[in-house]
């Protein structure tokens, strides 16, 4: 019965690790790390909707109340410039060019998917001269203070990848220990403490990094073209919130310590098991030599 309990606890750590890995993969692949509204500060448009993950997302602009236009957002970083944004340009070269234009204080090219009705509504009350002047307007302020810190973004990706790797490793090693009895400590149950501890720690660091990025930057500006370029009078200050993918990470953060607790419980069961009986032989009794 004791042996069966030990086997069940070890197999449970395998199941818990697999469940943790599933949630980490969901967080990696879904685009809901941030959700926000983007308001038109001049009151010309309805609020836009933005959501994105670590790599991509979507912007929904409401030209008219019943006419939404959708734009795919993609993370774009220039590490030499220490800047990242979520751009709605479709090609990598155009995304990088857009970011360089912003940092240099130049006007940007509208996304190719912007319908003509959007431009007409935005500038329908302007004269031809005003229209040209608006498109050539330079940026006000330093947008380098509002873009995404590439170091924080990259560290978030790295530590989330670390979580996925060690969740996989803890699941694999748990299965190995269910089927076999490895001698090397790193491959045995002792190693499972390490793999689960690293997975839990990297999950916590991931949440801290993205939380820091949100608190210091994204909560004031979601770093898309609409909120950075002066051609567009949009603001997201105070309108952003952490998406459900961020909160999903609480699951692996809890699951791996649960695994450590199960392993410790198994250890206590083994220690509480009475030692096998030993037969003592009286060596002064020479009758045992007859057998």
Tokens at residue 79, please? 């590490």
* Global pTM exceeds 0.85: no
Contacts of 203 (CB under 8 A, 6+ apart): 24, 159, 160, 163, 249, 252, 253, 256
**Residue 155 pLDDT > 90, yes or no?**
yes
Measured between alpha carbons, how far is 182 from 166 in angstroms, rounded to an integer? Answer: 19
Tokens at residue 93, please? 């070269």
Neighbours of 84 (CB within 10 A): 23
Q: Look at 165-169, 180-184, 206-210 and tell me which has the smallest mean pLDDT.
A: 180-184
pLDDT at 142: 60
Mind listing the pLDDT tens digit for each residue in 44-101? 778 899 999 999 999 998 876 567 888 999 999 999 999 999 999 989 999 999 999 8
pLDDT at 239: 94
pLDDT at 43: 72
Handedness of CA 12, 17, 22, 26 (dihedral sign): positive
Q: Look at 86-95, 179-188, 262-271, 273-282 and tell me which has the smallest mean pLDDT.
A: 273-282
Rg (CA), the chain: 29
Mind listing the pLDDT tens digit for each residue in 212-251? 999 999 999 999 988 988 677 788 999 999 999 999 999 9
pLDDT at 210: 97
Domain membership of residue 160 (yes or no) is: yes
Q: DSSP 3-state assignment of 204?
A: helix
> What is the domain count for the chain?
1
Domain membership of residue 280 (yes or no) is: no
Q: DSSP 3-state assignment of 190?
A: helix
Mind listing the pLDDT tens digit for each residue in 17-31? 999 999 999 999 999
Q: Can you spell out the DSSP letters for 69-123? A: EEEEEEEEEEGGGTEEEEE--SSHHHHHHHHHHHHHT---PPPTT--HHHHHHHH
Measured between alpha carbons, how far is 167 from 17 in angstroms, rounded to an integer? Answer: 6
Measured between alpha carbons, how far is 141 from 157 in angstroms, rounded to an integer? Answer: 30
**Residue 283 pLDDT > 80, yes or no?**
no
Measured between alpha carbons, how far is 132 from 238 in angstroms, rounded to an integer? Answer: 32
- Domain that residue 145 falls in: 2-272
Domain membership of residue 40 (yes or no) is: yes
**Residue 173 pLDDT > 70, yes or no?**
yes
Q: Where are the alpha helices (DSSP H) in the chain?
A: 2-29, 92-104, 116-123, 128-135, 150-179, 189-213, 225-228, 244-248, 250-272
**Residue 256 pLDDT > 90, yes or no?**
yes
Measured between alpha carbons, how far is 238 from 38 in angstroms, rounded to an integer? Answer: 10
**Residue 146 pLDDT > 70, yes or no?**
yes
Measured between alpha carbons, how far is 76 from 182 in angstroms, rounded to an integer? Answer: 46
Q: Quick one: pLDDT band at residue 116, thresholds 50, 70, 90?
A: very low
Domain membership of residue 177 (yes or no) is: yes
Domain membership of residue 288 (yes or no) is: no
Measured between alpha carbons, how far is 60 from 71 in angstroms, rounded to an integer? Answer: 6
Q: Is 77 exposed, middle or buried (0-12, 13-18, 19+ CB in 10 A)?
A: buried
Domain membership of residue 30 (yes or no) is: yes
Q: What percentage of the chain reaches a pLDDT higher than 70?
A: 80
Mind listing the pLDDT tens digit for each residue in 194-207? 999 999 999 999 99
Mean pLDDT in the chain? 83
């Amino acid at each position: 019965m004791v042996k069966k309990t030990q086997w069940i606890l070890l197999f449970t750590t395998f199941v818990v690790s697999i469940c943790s890995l599933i949630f980490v993969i969901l967080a990696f692949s879904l685009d809901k790390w941030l959700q926000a509204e983007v308001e038109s500060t001049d009151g010309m448009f309805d609020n836009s909707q933005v959501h994105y993950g670590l790599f991509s997302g979507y912007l929904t602009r409401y030209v008219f109340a019943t006419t939404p236009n959708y734009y795919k957002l993609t993370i774009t970083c220039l590490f030499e410039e220490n800047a990242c944004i979520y751009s709605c340009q479709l090609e990598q070269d155009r995304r990088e060019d857009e970011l360089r234009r912003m940092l240099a204080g130049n006007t940007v090219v509208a996304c190719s998917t912007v319908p003509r009705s959007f431009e007409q509504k935005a500038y329908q009350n302007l004269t031809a001269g005003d229209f040209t002047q608006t498109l050539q307007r330079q940026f006000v302020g330093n947008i380098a203070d509002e873009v995404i810190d590439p170091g924080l973004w990259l560290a978030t990706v790295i530590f989330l990848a670390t979580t996925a790797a060690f969740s996989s490793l803890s699941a694999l090693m748990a299965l190995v220990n269910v089927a076999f009895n490895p001698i090397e400590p790193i491959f045995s149950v002792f190693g499972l403490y390490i793999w689960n501890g690293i997975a839990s720690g990297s999950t916590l660091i991931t949440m801290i990094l993205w939380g820091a990025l949100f608190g210091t930057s994204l909560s004031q500006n979601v770093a898309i073209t609409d909120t950075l370029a002066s051609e567009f009078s949009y603001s997201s200050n105070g309108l952003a919130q952490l998406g459900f993918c961020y909160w999903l990470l609480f699951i692996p953060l809890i699951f791996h310590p649960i695994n450590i607790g199960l392993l410790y419980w198994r250890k206590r069961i083994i220690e509480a098991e009475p030692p096998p009986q030993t037969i003592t032989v009286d060596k002064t009794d020479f009758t045992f030599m007859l057998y």
